[in-house]
Amino acid sequence: DRSLKIAPSILSADFANFGAECAAIEAQGADWVHVDVMDGHFVPNITFGPATCAAIRPHIKGVMDVHLMISPVDAYIDAFAEAGSDFITAHVEAGPHIHRTLQAIRGAGAKAGVALNPATPASAVEYLLDMVDLICVMTVNPGFGGQKFIHSQVEKVRQLRAMIGDRPIHIEIDGGVTPETAPLVAQAGADVLVAGSAVFKGGSVQNPAPYGDNMRAI
Ligand code: DX5
Ligand code: ZN
């Protein structure tokens, strides 16, 4: 299904109210919920791990899309799968054996995603196309919400869409998605748009009305 999907990132949500935040964004039209896991090693920020994902899971009716910005990855795959992740995405830069990591993700019963940092070329995933369900193109350097979209990545999206051909692989965009940048990547072939700060905009569960409006604007 290549229709456009919005995946709000709870990195910009109220960390003390994840359950209510997930329910609120879904009620207002979120297609997927994007969950950013950071380890303070692969990226210079720390969020949370599999226990938090498991705690969030019952509050999400649809797809839980877990983005692992951690290294190493393999030892934690089973825990994230058992937490109820629909997609588990690992970075191609996270270690020398991304092929094994993707095998392990599918082996654990989840859909497998591979993410590329801005400096990593599209060709890095050419030999992985038959083992992934999603390719995540980072349009910021991972680690923080609210950064500026890196325009050079639009061409990478175009290259990946051509490379993928008929394969049923999602192209996800992560970072700096706004009403201005969303059309650029959608036209280049992306179908899942992650958006953190643009959706939450300082909103909260106490005042959830802006979420839906912000998502529609994207
Ligand atoms: C960045 C994360 C993103 C982030 C996007 O490292 O992977 O998911 O939350 O946030 P915005 O939409 O604010 O750029
Ligand atoms: Zn992310």
- What is the per-residue pLDDT across 39-59, written as a single tens digit (0 to 9) for each? 999 999 999 999 999 999 999
The token pair that represents 135 in the structure block: 């390719």
Distance between CA 137 and CA 114 in Å, rounded?
9
Give the mutation target among 10, 11, 93, 116 for probing the ligand 1 site: most ligand atoms within 8 A of CB: 11
Range 178-199 average pLDDT: 97
Which is catalytic among the residues 31, 36, 86, 133?
36
Overall pTM > 0.90: yes
DSSP string, 18-68: HHHHHHHHHHTT-SEEEEEEEBSSSSS-B---HHHHHHHGGG-SSEEEEEE
Residue 212: pLDDT band with limits 50, 70, 90: confident
Mean pLDDT of the chain: 96
| Residues sharing a CB contact under 8 Å with residue 145, sequence separation 6 or more, in sequence order | 9, 11, 12, 196, 197
From the CA of 74, how far away is ligand 1's center (Å)?
A: 23
pLDDT score for 1: 83
Task: Mark whether 36 is an active-site residue.
Answer: yes
Tell whether the model's pLDDT for residue 210 goes beyond 90: no
Range 110-137 average pLDDT: 98
From the CA of 15, how far away is ligand 1's center (Å)?
A: 15
Ordered domains of the chain (ranges, CATH): 5-217 (3.20.20.70)
% the chain with pLDDT above 70: 96
- What is the per-residue pLDDT across 61-72, written as a single tens digit (0 to 9) for each? 999 999 999 999
Per-residue burial over 59-85, b = 16 or more CB atoms within 10 Å of its CB, e = otherwise: bbeebbbbbbbbeebbebbbebbebbb
Per-residue burial over 34-49, b = 16 or more CB atoms within 10 Å of its CB, e = otherwise: bbbbbbeebbeeebbb
Tell whether the model's pLDDT for residue 207 goes beyond 70: no
Nearest to 184 by CA among 214, 132, 135, 149: 149
Residue 193: pLDDT band with limits 50, 70, 90: very high
Write out the H or E segment, with its range, that includes residue 100: helix 98-107
Residues 63, 86 contacting (CB under 8 angstroms): yes
From the CA of 91, how far away is ligand 2's center (Å)?
A: 11
Tell whether the model's pLDDT for residue 208 goes beyond 70: no
Tell whether the model's pLDDT for residue 140 goes beyond 70: yes
Give the mutation target among 21, 36, 39 for probing the ligand 1 site: most ligand atoms within 8 A of CB: 36
pLDDT score for 211: 83
Residue 205: pLDDT band with limits 50, 70, 90: low
